[in-house]
Amino acid sequence: MRAKVIVPLLGILSLIYIFLLPNPPSPVILKIRIFRLLLAIYTGVTLSVFGLFLQGALNNPLVEPYTLGIASGAALGVSIGILVGSALSINILAFLGAVTAATLVFFLARLSGRLLREGLILAGIIISFFASGVVFLLLVLNGRELHEIIYLLMGYLGRVPTRSSYLHLSLSSLIAGVSLFYIFFTTKALDIIATGYESAHSLGINVNRLLTRGFIIISLNVGLLVTQVGVIGFVGLIVPHLARLLVGDHHRPAFYASMFIGIGFILIADLLSRSLTTIELPVGVITSIFGAPFFIYLMIRR
């Protein structure tokens, strides 16, 4: 029922994105804009679904790849990769950066003794700030423009598309597809985890294994994502909440809803980021402006 409304709405939004705003395209521009649309869809879907998974698996409504510092860790990998050189090394280093950040966050959270609550967020923020700081330092020391750093750390969908960026996007979409498949099959387990870790254990769910696999998968995907669009915050936080608001707390319907709402959210954010001012703003500017108040709302509500 709801899908019948959402899907046509998304179709209309995509058509607006491609054909109307900021202005109608020529054939060449159409090619460029379709790439940006595909990139936005890939970004919206992966960030939202991974946000849903993390919130479910950690039983914590405030986590997502951004608040856990995974995205900033990936950005640190990307910036080392930019200085090292080859495209392959950027992707690998982004993955390593993401994995390292995730591991450190867990280690820190465990040290604080409040692993699954504010300890995680606190650790995520610490790692995130640290990684962003190192990104700045590394790139500035190597004579890079401040713009480049800001657009990496705030996320940007408008990087110049080349033929190899199509290949990059196709490969990472493929990996994302397989990963989403895995996450889809964890949705039942996530429903059980929602009732508490105790009962999940007693029902034979290996939470540690689920988390470990989930973190590796998410690090890999976030690494690939950040290489292409930089760090886009709060999408993975807001969208799963909106999805649950719409379809209820069960993870399978929320999975579908997150995918669709994620696409819609990022498309609207990108349209705003490119039409609010005469220059192209990083899309993260818009998602953060929406995201921060939402985060506060979630904190107060609990």
The H-assigned helical ranges of 58-157 are 70-84, 87-112, 118-141, 146-154
Comparing CB distances to another protein, the nearer of 241 and 274 is 274
Length reported for the chain: 302
Comparing CB distances to another protein, the nearer of 25 and 253 is 25
Give the interface size with another protein as a residue count (CB under 8 A). 26
The secondary element (H helix, E strand) that includes residue 160 is none
DSSP 25: P
The binding track of 112-151 with respect to another protein, each residue x by CB under 8 A or -, is ---------------------------------x-xx--x
Comparing CB distances to another protein, the nearer of 183 and 283 is 283
Within 10 angstroms of residue 299's Cβ, the number of other Cβ atoms is 12
Comparing CB distances to another protein, the nearer of 33 and 250 is 33
Q: Tell me: does residue 162 bind another protein (CB under 8 A).
A: yes
Q: Which of 141, 209, 278, 302 binds another protein (CB under 8 A)?
A: 278
Distances (CA, A) of 244 to 176, 223, 238: 22, 27, 10
Comparing CB distances to another protein, the nearer of 1 and 28 is 28
Q: Tell me: does residue 168 bind another protein (CB under 8 A).
A: no
CB of 208 to another protein, least distance (A): 40
Q: Tell me: does residue 156 bind another protein (CB under 8 A).
A: yes
> Distance between CA atoms of 68 and 54, rounded to whole angstroms?
10
* Sign (positive or negative) of CA dihedral 300, 270, 228, 45: positive
> Distance between CA atoms of 237 and 247, rounded to whole angstroms?
16
> Distance between CA atoms of 204 and 277, rounded to whole angstroms?
54
Comparing CB distances to another protein, the nearer of 208 and 277 is 277
Residues 19-38 that bind another protein (CB under 8 A): 23, 25-26, 28-29, 31-33, 35-36
CB of 32 to another protein, least distance (A): 5
CB of 238 to another protein, least distance (A): 25
Q: What are phi and psi of 155, to 5 degrees?
A: 80, 135
Between vectors from CA 132 to CA 126 and to CA 135, what angle results, nearest 5°? 140
HSE-up (13 A, CA, CB side) for residue 189: 20
Residues of this chain that bind another protein (CB under 8 A): 23, 25-26, 28-29, 31-33, 35-36, 145, 147-148, 151, 156, 158-164, 274, 278-280
